Amino acid sequence: MQNTGEVLAFDQYKGKVRLIRDGASRLGLTCVRADLRDAQKPTKPLEPADRVLCDAPCSGLGILRRKPEIRYKLPCTLDSLPDLQYGILSKTSELVKSGGVLLYSTCTLNPAENGEVARRFLKEHADFVPRALPAPLGLQHAIEEPENEWTFLPHAHGTDGFFVASFQRR
């Protein structure tokens, strides 16, 4: 974007909003505006956008090497995450213009939080279609998945484990 246009960034926690602002400032990005917002229950409407990123809360299993304490989360605390993520993705999709792009992202390797949420979203939102994600930097998929999904694995891609799916509004 070359620091043009406008990037609206939201989180429901003040500390995370501060981190977004600090990061944008450190990078010299003046087009980023960060604020508090609950993705499930927004209090004020926003104009539809050309591009929307839904970076959903997740189990964090893809970043275990940087946050080893995650391994001590009780499995039962993770069971409700796919429904939460789906709800946030569905609500966030309302912000996408006709013809616009919606990206869904997590930092986990749990298929229930990733591909299953993405496929459920497509099944229940006929106004969106899969949008192919080209291979970044010549990388190849490490697992078999639809062309609109990428699962990045530490051992295969040299990154943290994370997932992204792309959709386009009709």
- The packing angle between helices 81-93 and 115-124, to 10°, is 50
pTM: 0.92
Same-domain pairing of 79 and 31: no
Same-domain pairing of 91 and 20: no
Query: Would the pLDDT of 136 be above 80?
Result: no
Query: How does pLDDT run across 10-45, given as a tens digit for each residue?
Result: 999 999 999 999 999 999 999 999 999 999 999 999
Same-domain pairing of 124 and 73: yes
Same-domain pairing of 91 and 163: yes
Beta-bridged to residue 102, according to DSSP, are 52, 167
Same-domain pairing of 89 and 113: yes
Give the domain extent around 29. Answer: 1-37
Which CATH number is 129's domain given? 3.40.50.150
58 is catalytic: no
